[in-house]
Structure 1
Amino acid sequence: MFSSSVYNCNVIDLPKIHNRSGNITPIHGELDIPFDIKRVYYLYDIPGGESRGGHAHYRLYQLLVAASGSFDVILDDGRMRKTVSLNRPNVGLLITPGIWRDLVNFSSGAVLLVLASELYNADDYIRDYETFLSLIAKQNYSG
């Protein structure tokens, strides 16, 4: 089911084209990131102290980018945890399927841009952490 570990979730340096009048970062699916982009959304106006995420996906790949401000991503594969801080708009975090993610410590005015490999599908979400751990344990037991 899941072959991912937190070590499969890597920070990707994205292209940055510098111009006197401002920078631009173009992102091309299957060129700059390892999947075709089928959905784009962003989170903003997140109240201080709030967290987002709190789920995993069966099939979905995502690239998270701090388009503005900063936040931390806590990655969890059921065995290990890793925290990645995002604070530059030309750097993204690739999250593979089977990884639990919690998004915390949003700065004031933070904007989180998400590029996804699939259209929204509620059935692709694992929203309960105990269920997630149970799925990982069954996978590890069955080999």
Structure 2
Amino acid sequence: MACIFCDIASGKLPASLVYERDDFLAFLDKKPLFRGHVLLVPRTHVATMTDLPSELAAKIFPVAQAIARAVESAMEAEGSFVAINNRVSQSVPHLHMHIVPRRKGDGLKGFFWPRTKYASGQEMDDVAARIRERI
């Protein structure tokens, strides 16, 4: 199956590149939340963050930090929003980290989904225990 991000990484498709190294590539999103919205991707095809090999996982955050600093500076932003979707809401099934410049009052409201509550402290403890035992 064709992957648009693999095609960008291999040079088959054009993109507005902002970062290019052996392991990662970053380029402007064609449909940005705001100008300066960057997508950081591994050059090799990896579908989700949970599929990312440990050696690349150790390298991606320093790259994301550098890009976030650059985006904030270049776009004169007050901050940034950094996010990864895994399968749900992942428009391209190739791991990509969104790095979006932010300003107070820019209209982006925190997370894009409704919040929920735990029924009790016991339910919260039970959920935490289920996650802990799988780590």
With normalisation by structure 2, the TM-score equals 0.32
> With CA pairs under 8 Å and 6+ residues apart, which has the higher RCO, 1 or 2?
1
The structure with the largest alpha-carbon Rg is: 2
Q: TM-score, normalised by structure 1?
A: 0.30
